[in-house]
């Protein structure tokens, strides 16, 4: 049924006033079509990121250098699958299906966090990802836990609770390397050198270059800006690096006494856009791995459905 224009304006005003009153929007509530679309985009991209994110660290489970590390890493990567699952579920409340979302990922129509397009080249990378990448994700996510869309906020609460050990595990891995044999120390520093700048890029382009920002802020979907979150992350990470005895690969890093912030050097946005547009070191490999898992697993999913269909038919026949 088409809603007449003047009524739509009323509905939108009412919707905005609900948001201004910090109300939560639930799946069956009226919402502007654009809000729905933006949320599906955000939640599905977040889900894709979790699932693709299993690959760089999953790469080292079979080579983990102790039983404790092996189990801890497997548990962490498993959590990531779970997070993807919660987020796909939250997105499905808005009328899309998991299959549609996966198709969009595999055809390149949907994005995922481009941090996962970098390769993990050593065991230390696992530590660097846990400490830096999960650390950055936590800074992002803590604000998302108060997002206006109910299912997203609730999924984020669950995710945040589980995320706690991920970052600590990463820190512990790096700290052990940093205080170990010279080869281990070098491995740790090399990993930090490679993951620091891409992690800063995770927060997205500078505020003036972000087209969606203003709208998402008004809709209380994204309460803080890219630059604010990036700064918050740096302020947390620098003392942590010092505590481990590892250097941040930024010659311009300096403490701003007046504003109590760690000021950092220029981000190479050319690299960011290159990787986002598909020309990063591992873009193709990541999608190929996901496509193989998805296509390769089709016969399994079909088998389960066929079994269920046969059982139902048998029950009907008996009834």
Partner 1 sequence: MADDERSRDLAELYVRFGDDRLVLGHRLSEWCGHAPVLEEELALGNLALDLLDQATVLLERAGSLEGRGRSADELALFRDASAFRNLLLVEQPNGDFAATIVRQYLFDVFDLHLATSLETSSDRELASFAARAAREAAYHARHSREWTLRLGDGTEESHRRTQTAIDDLWMFTGELFETDPLVERLVAAQVLSDPQALHAPWHDAVTGTFREAGLKEPNDSTFRSGGRRGMHGECLDRLLSEMQSVARAFPGASW
Partner 2 sequence: MSTAASADTQGSLWEVFVQEEGGAAHVHAGSVHAPDREMALQNARDVYARRGRVASLWVVESTSIAATAPADRAAFFEPAFDKIYRHPQFYKVPRGIRGL
Which residues of this chain interact with partner 2, rule CB under 8 A?
26, 28-30, 82, 85-86, 89, 92, 97-99, 103, 154-155, 158, 162, 298, 301-302, 304-305, 307-308, 311
Cβ proximity to partner 2: between 181 and 317 the closer is: 317
Choose the binding region for partner 1 from 29-37, 131-139, 246-254, 292-300 (rule: CB under 8 A). 292-300
Q: Give 87's contacts (C-beta < 8 A, 6+ positions apart).
A: 43, 44, 46, 47, 50, 152, 155, 159
Biggest alpha carbon–alpha carbon distance for the chain: 80
Cβ proximity to partner 2: between 47 and 237 the closer is: 47
Choose the binding region for partner 1 from 49-57, 129-137, 151-159, 246-254 (rule: CB under 8 A). 49-57
> 220: helix, coil or strand?
coil
Q: Does 181 bind partner 1 (CB under 8 A)?
A: yes
Q: Cβ distance 78 to 165 under 8 Å?
A: no
Among 77, 136, 159, 229, binds partner 1 (CB under 8 A): 77
Q: Which does 162 bind (CB under 5 to 8 A by kind): partner 2, partner 1, none?
A: partner 2
Q: Does 152 bind partner 1 (CB under 8 A)?
A: no
Among 11, 18, 41, 85, binds partner 1 (CB under 8 A): 85
Q: Cβ distance 122 to 13 under 8 Å?
A: no
Cβ proximity to partner 2: between 150 and 249 the closer is: 150
Q: Cβ distance 280 to 118 under 8 Å?
A: yes
DSSP states along 86-129: HHHHHHHTTT--HHHHHHHHHHTSS---GGGGS---SHHHHHHI
137: left (phi over 0), alpha (psi -120 to 50) or beta: alpha
Choose the binding region for partner 1 from 1-9, 60-68, 147-155, 250-258 (rule: CB under 8 A). 60-68
Task: Classify the C-alpha dihedral 159-134-171-187 as positive or negative.
Answer: positive
> In this structure, what token pair is assigned to residue 32?
């502007």
Q: Cβ distance 173 to 69 under 8 Å?
A: yes
Q: Which does 69 bind (CB under 5 to 8 A by kind): partner 2, partner 1, none?
A: partner 1
Q: Print the binding letters for residues 90-129 with partner 1: x by CB under 8 A, - otherwise.
A: --------x------------------------x------
Q: What residue ranges bind partner 1 (CB under 8 A)?
A: 51, 54-55, 58, 60-71, 74-75, 77-78, 81-82, 84-85, 88, 98, 123, 173, 176-177, 180-181, 183-184, 289, 292-293, 296-307, 310
């Amino acid at each position: 049924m088409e809603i007449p224009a003047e009524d739509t304006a009323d509905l939108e005003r009412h919707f905005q006033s609900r948001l201004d009153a910090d109300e939560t929007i639930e799946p069956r509530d009226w919402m502007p079509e654009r809000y729905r679309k933006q949320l599906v985009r955000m939640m599905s991209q977040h889900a894709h990121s979790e699932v693709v994110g299993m690959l760089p660290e999953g790469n080292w489970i079979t080579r983990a250098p102790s039983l404790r590390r092996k189990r801890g890493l497997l548990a962490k990567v498993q959590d990531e699958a779970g997070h993807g699952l919660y987020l796909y579920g939250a997105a499905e409340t808005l009328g899309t299906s998991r299959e549609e979302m996966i198709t969009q990922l595999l055809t390149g129509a949907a994005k995922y966090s481009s941090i996962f397009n970098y390769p993990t080249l050593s065991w230390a990378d696992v530590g660097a990802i846990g400490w830096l990448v999960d650390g950055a994700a936590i800074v992002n996510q803590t604000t998302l836990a108060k997002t206006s869309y109910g299912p997203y906020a609730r999924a984020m609460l669950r995710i945040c609770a589980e995320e706690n050990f991920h970052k600590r595990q990463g820190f512990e891995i790096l700290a052990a390397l940093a205080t170990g044999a010279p080869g281990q120390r070098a491995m740790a520093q090399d990993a930090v050198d490679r993951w620091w700048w891409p992690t800063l890029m995770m927060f997205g382009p500078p505020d003036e270059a972000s087209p969606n920002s203003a709208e998402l802020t008004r809709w209380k979907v994204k309460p803080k800006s890219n630059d604010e979150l990036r700064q918050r992350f740096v302020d947390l990470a620098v003392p942590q690096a010092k505590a481990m005895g590892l250097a941040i690969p930024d010659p311009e890093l300096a403490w701003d006494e007046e504003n109590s912030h760690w000021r950092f050097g220029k981000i190479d946005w050319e690299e960011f856009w290159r990787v986002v547009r598909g020309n990063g070191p591992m873009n193709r490999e990541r999608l190929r791995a996901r496509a193989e898992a998805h296509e390769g697993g089709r016969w399994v999913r079909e088998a389960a459905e066929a079994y269920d269909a046969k059982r139902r038919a048998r029950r009907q026949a008996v009834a």
